[in-house]
Amino acid sequence: MLRDTPERYGTLTKALHWLMALLVGWQLLKLGDRIADGEHWVGQTLVPWHISIGVLLLVLIVLRLIWATSQRQQRPQPEPSMAWAVKAGHGLLYACLLLMPLTGIMVMLGGGYGVNAFGVQLIAEGEERAWAGTLGSIHSPLAWLLTILVIGHIGAALVHHLFLKDETLKRML
C-alpha cells in the first residue's frame, strides 16, 4: 500500500521516514568529528560524505513535504489532546530538516567554496559571500537543535510503544 490511511502510514511515507532517519543519523556523526579533529574512523570514513548526504537530504525533505501535503487528509491523526504537541514537534523537525542543508549550502557559499555533491559540481567556487556566511552561521546551532528534536522524537515513539501501549510506533514500522 503506497498511500497513507487513517490506520497506517503507506510504503512511501515509511521509506522516506526511515531513509531520512538513517541519513540524518549519519549526518549527526559530524558532531563527533570535533573529537580529535576528526582523526578517527568516523571522521575519515563517513564525514567526507557530509555535503553530499546533506544535498540528498534536501531533495528528500522537499519530496517528503510534497508527499505529506498530498496525504494529509488520509494519514493517521494524533489524539486530540496531544495534537498541538505532535504538530509542533513535527513542524520543528521538518523546519530543521529543511534549514540544515540550506544553511550548510550557505556555509559553503560564504567561504567561497562552491558546492559539490557525489562528485558533481552544483555551485562553482567563487568569491566569499559575507551574507551567506552569516546565514550559514546558524548551521551548527541548528544541528544541536535537530539532535535534541530527534532524541525527543525517538523518546516520544518509545513512550507511546512501551508505556501508553498504543499503535503509534507500529504505524511507521
CA distance 35 to 131: 29
Residue-wise pLDDT tens digits, 119-137: 999 999 999 999 999 999 9
In contact, 56 and 116? CB cutoff 8 Å: no
Question: At residue 111, does pLDDT exceed 90?
Answer: yes
In contact, 117 and 56? CB cutoff 8 Å: yes
Look at domain 11-172 and name its CATH class.
mainly alpha
Residue-wise pLDDT tens digits, 65-96: 999 999 999 988 888 888 899 999 999 999 99
Question: At residue 62, does pLDDT exceed 70?
Answer: yes
In one-letter notation, the amino acid at residue 155 is G
Residue keyed to cell 576528526: 38
Question: At residue 47, does pLDDT exceed 80?
Answer: no
Angle between helices 50-71 and 83-110 (to 10 degrees): 140
Segments making up each domain of the chain, as ranges: 11-172
